[in-house]
Chains A and B, each alone.
Chain A
Amino acid sequence: MSDIAAGRLSGEELAENFSDIHPPLDAMSAHIEASRCYFCYDAPCMEACPTGIDIPNFIRKISTDNVRGSAIDILEENIMGGACARVCPTEVLCEGACVRTAQEGKPVTIGALQRFATDWLMEKGEQPFARAAATGKRVAIIGAGPAGLSAAHRLSQLGHDCEVFEALPKSGGLNEYGIADYKVVDNFAQKEVDFILGLGGITVNHGKKLGQELALGTIRNDFDAVFIGSGLGGVQALALEGESIDGVFNAVDYIANLRQTADKATLPIGRRVVIIGGGSTAIDIAVKSKRLGAEDVTIVYRRGAEAMSATDVEQKFAQTNGVKIKHWMQPVGIVSDNGAVSAVEFEYTKQGPDGKLIGSGEKTTLEADMLFKAIGQIFVPDPVFGTAAQLELKNGKIAVDDSYATSLEGVYAGGDCIDGNVGLTVAAVQDGKKAALAINDYLAKK
């Protein structure tokens, strides 16, 4: 019998498990940490930051108590600097590039310092940016996630009015529906949305999904330009028989539901949980399963640790949380009992001479009450095609040029839905910002 149950842990245990995993720096710690920065010339951290924040400068400003100046430096380049400070895999970005990593294996904790500065400003309740004189131009933004809100904020600053269309009831995209609770506590995603909208000139319409309530053709007619930041709508399938039986879940759906559930004790979780995948989503669902009270949680990945898209730090975080990670195994069958999953059958894999993955023929079975699929999300083009206009795709996502222009005139795109995006919040924010600048140029010429 499958063992899936809610309320495995007490309310207190759950509250502890879903509290901030990296508590904020206090002023003194921030000063000490800021003093570790060498104020490098041509700083490697800056180059490693997708949004190009002047990191040495914002850190120096923390060390001199010019925290307002510091926060503005950050937010000017990255309006979601607060979220990125919490969720960026800094170990492979700024902190990985920090010269102190090379020197002593211990980078300046840039993410924590960025959070210190941006929290300071947001807690003041100040809106540090102003809008330029109104241009009379109107831009439609599809999706109120990091890419869309970043584009909207920059366009509004430049004097354009923005109308945002969002399918879900809340803004924030994956910051609201995807990022682990313990990284963005205290309703931070909504506070950040409020901060961004506080600039003015941006209206968000919820329950508006492209291809359903919205048609791209109509929007193009109604607005001077369009930005699509709709993210990824679907998840990869395992292509196994029994994928839709009870106990088999999409990790992203489960996580979205978990984020929106105030009382975590109501969430059913299996005693034995198996996760298939090797990215951040696999890590997140595994750790959350454990923190909801699952007894045995195993991530199974078809290649070695170094090939996982989850960083070293993420893998270790999962392991510290009691998650087991098994490598070189691929799922070949789902075993069911009374219509529900009871085990997953795996085949051991190895790398063939051409680098391709091959099955070894040897098999093993892992008992499971719950199976999570976390093998990646895919762009669902259909809604966008709900119009006569054709958006060109590349590698299954929206094709854009260097200025984020799609194949349709006046239609720009950025974030997870475009080809080449690496799937990070910080990259989506950068896409939105740069696309906004391109749209501004386009509108000036129009």
Chain B
Amino acid sequence: MADLSYNFAGIKSPNPFWLASAPPTDKEYNVVRAFEAGWGGVVWKTLGEDPPVVNVSSRYGAVQLNGQRMMGFSNIELITDRPLDVNLEEIARVKKNWPDRAVVVSLMVPCEEEPWKRILRKVEDTGADGVELNFGCPHGMSERGMGSAVGQVPEYVEMVTRWCKEHSDMPVIVKLTPNITDIRTAARAAVKGGADAVSLINTINSIVTVDLDQMAPTPVVDGKGAHAGYCGPAVKPIALNMVAEIARDPECQNIPVSGIGGIANWRDGAEFMALGCGSVQVCTAAMHYGFRIVDDMITGLSNWMDEKGYRTIDDFRSMAVPNVANWNELNMNYDIKARINQDSCIKCGICHIACEDTSHQAITAGRVNGARHYEVVDKECVGCNLCMLACPVDDCITMERVDKGKPYMNWNEDPRNPFSTAAE
């Protein structure tokens, strides 16, 4: 049996699956239900200074795709709208009753040293395992000079991180906003400020849909809508890339990363871990299906690790990082061609029309004894994968390597590159 326990920047949890700072972790009642379901940890929904914020009615929006609900999800909810003391009291009780679980507290106060100092002391008193600095929230709080308004300015990130390290012994996780040009800039600032870890991504600025009757973005609040924070399965690719950027950046110095963004099952989690994450945080999937999805996450990851012979998370963590390369490091001599398995082909013709209309005219459509027949034209096929990706039948179209024996040659070495450094 694989050992799923993990020590993330000094924060221990029995498994790497945490609930992200969000509505599911806003109060004791929910968090206890999550722990009963098996979650390894929670990041308590962001605390701020009293008086608490006030939220609007109509808070979430979603992208539905082909009948699948909440492929993308958005919110305009602010930080916790409950009094600070109530939250702190509940945090202390939960940590006492669930000592083996990770209880991290998300924080957001104005960008001044005193408020940070004040709130850190209070959190420390609860016995919480660490804090996460919310530098990511893109709506509502950012207009008040908090959240992503801080996260978008590397100097502020570094400064606030440093305050937190000075005024607390707790591990400090800096949560990064994706609403910037280069995620590494903010991550490097966190490292410079002394952060113990970073977590990413927070939500992305978005308008998920426009209500064409009300002529307003959703979620609609009495005829108007504000840009909302986007998350859910649709953002996972963006999150994976940003995680990988940090994982392979020397200046980020292998800082521990907690992965966030569209994680809904064990495989999603494993992918984030393969790119360096030591824990992963979940919100949308739990808000969609409830807490019991963690059962699949735990058993699925464990079964997969057993199958692969990995005993601990660190056995495979970061294994994909060395294979994340820059484009000019890719092998120009690598050559693949599409292969259609005629026995499993169901004759939908999608491979043909996709290639014919939009790519390389490399799949012919014909009839053999009256039956539809689709065939790859090798000399036109550039090995782009489009047909394989569009084909509705698993493994019907595969890509076969055809560059027998050619050596590795990247673009810098390629004689076709006008700036090639290859020896003449």
Contacts and interface: CB of A to CB of B under 8 A. Distances in A.
Nearest to B68: A35
B67 A99 contact: no
Interface residues of B, number: 13
A102 B349 CA distance: 14
Question: Chain A, interface size: which category?
Answer: 10 to 19
B196 to A, nearest CB: 45
B363 to A, nearest CB: 10
A184 B346 CA distance: 33
Interface in B369-407: 372, 392-393
Contact of B348 (A31, A35, A40, A63): A40
Contact of A102 (B67, B346, B353, B365): B346
Nearest to B66: A35
B347 interface: yes
Given A38-B392, A41-B365, A102 B347 contact: yes
B350 A38 contact: yes
Interface string A176-199: 000000000000000000000000
A43 B349 contact: yes
Contacts of B348: 38, 40-41, 43, 99
Given A63-B66, A99-B346, A102-B346, A41 B392 contact: no
B346 A41 contact: no
Interface string A76-106: 0000000000000000000000011011000
B301 to A, nearest CB: 29
B162 interface: no
B353 A41 contact: yes
Nearest to B64: A31
A39 B392 CA distance: 11
Contacts of B349: 40-43
A44 B66 contact: no
Contacts of B365: 41-42
A32 interface: yes
Contact of B392 (A32, A35, A43, A103): A103
Dominant secondary structure of chain B at its interface with chain A: loop
A281 B352 CA distance: 42
B347 A99 contact: yes
Nearest to B372: A42
Contacts of A44: 347, 372
Interface string A212-236: 0000000000000000000000000
B418 to A, nearest CB: 40
Interface string A2-14: 0000000000000
Contacts of B346: 99-100, 102-103
Nearest to B365: A42
A283 to B, nearest CB: 30
B67 A103 contact: no
A433 B153 CA distance: 70
A99 B67 CA distance: 20
Contacts of A40: 347-350
Contacts of A63: 66
A43 B350 CA distance: 10
A39 B66 CA distance: 13
B397 to A, nearest CB: 14
Nearest to B367: A42
A102 B348 CA distance: 10
Given A39-B350, A41-B365, 10 more contacts: A31-B67, A35-B66, A38-B348, A38-B392, A41-B348, A41-B353, A42-B365, A99-B347, A99-B348, A100-B346
List 5 A-B pairs, minimum CB-CB distance, nearest first: A41-B349, A41-B353, A35-B66, A99-B346, A40-B348
19 contacts: A35-B66, A35-B67, A38-B348, A38-B350, A38-B392, A39-B350, A40-B348, A41-B348, A41-B350, A41-B353, A42-B352, A43-B348, A44-B347, A63-B66, A99-B346, A99-B347, A102-B347, A103-B346, A103-B393
